[in-house]
Structure 1
Amino acid sequence: MKRIYLFFALIFVAQGILFAQELRCNISISAQKIQGANRTVFETMQSDLYEFMNNRKWTDQKFAMDERIECSFFINLDEQISSDEFKGTIQVQARRPVFNSSYETILLNVKDNDFDAKYIEYQTMEFNETSNKDNLTNILAYYAYIILGMDYDSFSPEGGTEFFQKAQTIVNNSQSAREKGWKAYESERNRYWLVENILNKSYSGFRSTTYQYHRQGLDIMYDKSPEGRAAIAESLKSIQKVFRSRPSLYILQVFFDAKSDELVNVFSKSFPDEKNRVSVILNECDPSNGSKYEKILKSESF
């Protein structure tokens, strides 16, 4: 009988090793600006947010342990409004492995200045896709779906649509929320506009770039560096078209916040004519990082 129990226990453990949740999410909370508070609350909050993000099943897909999406949430609490309400910012970053290498590319790097949430220590965190009852779990779930959408888009053309739609549903359900970040009129760079821009067919070049840049570009660079760079350079033309249609789009900032340093590294090893073509696009679409892109032209060419 003991052997039978041991057999089933081993099966259970093996299944746990083979299949896991979708996200491997690191949570970091800083509350240095809040004086006089019970510091253990922030430790408990960090632990609860970690459990919520990593133990919840976000899709109906099976993920192996090594397939989980690497992501990080950096929450900086600036103000305690009441005993259980806090305001601050949240920085969300997601990463993706590049085929045949140990390199991880940044898929998403967003700073959200409208983090306003209630947290009650030791109370179970719950998320309901059909309501806006809890702003904290709504924010976390929204970014979980944005991360999943970006990851899936990077492996297949518009493969993340269903997850972006789930994020948009959270936005729609939060239109009556008193907290900021969900409504169009509050800002041009918030949660409303991020998912609106992504799903807007007028700006589909952003999503086609996500696929071409990663799957047809970075993923083949181990074996075919010139071809991979060429694909990335070609993908930037789609970003350029989006920029020319509406230069102030939030997703353009999101793209370059994630990719500016990487683009310098990729094209610093390119050929002179390719460097020139790429530099023209980057300086047009992302002039704020012009000093970075100068390094592309100044680096030694092949």
Structure 2
Amino acid sequence: MLIFVGNGIGQELRCNVTVSARGIQGANQNLFRTMQSDLYDFMNNRKWTDHVYSYDEKIRCNILIRLDEQISADEFKGSIQVQLTRPIFNTSYTSTVLNIKDNDFHCKYVEFQPLEFNETSNRDNLTNIMAFYAYVILGFDYDTFSEEGGTEYFQKAQAIVNNSQNARERGWKAFESERNRYWLIENVLNKSYSSFRTCMYNYHRNGLDLMSEKVEEGRANIADALRDIQKVFRRRPSTYILQMFFDAKADELVNIFSKSFPDERNRVMAILNEVDPSNGRKYEKIAENEGF
């Protein structure tokens, strides 16, 4: 595995990029080192917004690309995992906002050839995927600081999806899967599921950020925010953004509410067991009143 962690000198993102090509036997590892360095520069040194960030304000995220198959000298398939974390006000704690694994990573890469991204075409699937997730990262980060504050960036991600409808690579079209890039951005911008974004704001800004000063009030706001997730579930249980939410938040929720009052714990557990039964065993720790 190759790991590239720079000084974060760049624009909005402080993005660590890792490329693993262990699944490809006999491959030229120098190629993947160069690919990794190029992708790091693409994510960190490109200006994605009109805003000015200090070093400490940069958005912390991680991208892990696993290449499992080499189709030709310059064509690869694998997966990409995207993680976004957010600092919590007045603490050293960082909360995981996103933890997405996308199994439809298919790209061409030519060593030493500049990476080009065009917002109005699907010329290069590699830079389209990376730019898509850059805007998704920005959108979710902004949503946690102001209500629906990330709309502009989600719309940019949606434009990339729209431009990629004729792409031969998977991941961009509705009929290919119920959990891909198309459905991620469709769910986020779908007004029928707007309570999801309300939850993201209240969970982080009125919940976690408040807990350093007012633990009980902040925790109660998080419990209320989960009702918004419940609304999405009752509208459409298989919605992709629900899986995304709990992939990022299940362990954190156990940590928060295992220190809660009995009535609050019971209310939260009832919601969690309804909307996220797959993590039911994990949520049993809440009832045991144990942190970790």
TM-score (norm 1): 0.93
Report runs of 4+ in structure 1 exceeding 6 Å deviation: none
TM-superposed deviation, 1:179 = 0.2
Deviation by residue 1:202-252 (Cα, 9 ceiling, x = unmatched) = 000110000000000000100100000000000000000100000000000
TM-superposed deviation, 1:262 = 0.2
**2-structure distance, mates of 1:300, 1:35:** 45
2:125 maps to 135
**2-structure distance, mates of 1:263, 1:111:** 21
TM-superposed deviation, 1:62 = 0.4
- Asked if residue 68 in structure 1 is aligned to residue 58 in structure 2, the reply is yes
Unpaired runs of 5+ residues, structure 2, are 1-7
- Asked if residue 187 in structure 1 is aligned to residue 159 in structure 2, the reply is no
**2-structure distance, mates of 1:32, 1:61:** 38
2:286 maps to 296
TM-superposed deviation, 1:154 = 0.3
Look up the equivalent residue of 2:70 and give its one-letter code.
Answer: Q
1:125 maps to 115
- Asked if residue 253 in structure 1 is aligned to residue 243 in structure 2, the reply is yes
TM-superposed deviation, 1:257 = 0.3
1:41 maps to 31
- Asked if residue 29 in structure 1 is aligned to residue 19 in structure 2, the reply is yes
Look up the equivalent residue of 1:291 and give its one-letter code.
Answer: R
Look up the equivalent residue of 1:21 and give its one-letter code.
Answer: Q
Q: Is the 8 A contact 2:87 2:94 kept in 1?
A: yes
**1-structure distance, mates of 2:28, 2:144:** 42
1:236 maps to 226
Deviation by residue 1:101-155 (Cα, 9 ceiling, x = unmatched) = 0100011110000000000000000110000000000000000000000000000
**2-structure distance, mates of 1:58, 1:300:** 42
Q: 1:271 aligns with which of 261, 272, 275?
A: 261
| Percent of aligned positions that are identical | 71
Look up the equivalent residue of 2:270 and give its one-letter code.
Answer: V
Q: Pick the structure with greater CA Rg.
A: 1
**2-structure distance, mates of 1:284, 1:239:** 11
- Asked if residue 222 in structure 1 is aligned to residue 212 in structure 2, the reply is yes
**2-structure distance, mates of 1:299, 1:266:** 10
1:167 maps to 157
Paired residue secondary structure (2:171): coil
Paired residue secondary structure (1:95): strand
TM-superposed deviation, 1:37 = 1.4
1:100 maps to 90
**2-structure distance, mates of 1:62, 1:293:** 40
Paired residue secondary structure (2:167): coil
The root-mean-square deviation of aligned C-alpha atoms, in Å, is: 1.2
2:148 maps to 158
1:4 maps to none
Deviation by residue 1:154-203 (Cα, 9 ceiling, x = unmatched) = 00010000000000000000000000000000000000000000000000
Deviation by residue 1:16-74 (Cα, 9 ceiling, x = unmatched) = 98xx5100000001111101211100111111100110000000110111000000001
- Asked if residue 109 in structure 1 is aligned to residue 99 in structure 2, the reply is yes
Look up the equivalent residue of 2:92 and give its one-letter code.
Answer: S
**1-structure distance, mates of 2:190, 2:208:** 26
Unpaired runs of 5+ residues, structure 1, are 1-15
**2-structure distance, mates of 1:52, 1:161:** 22
Aligned length: 284
TM-superposed deviation, 1:300 = 5.2
1:6 maps to none
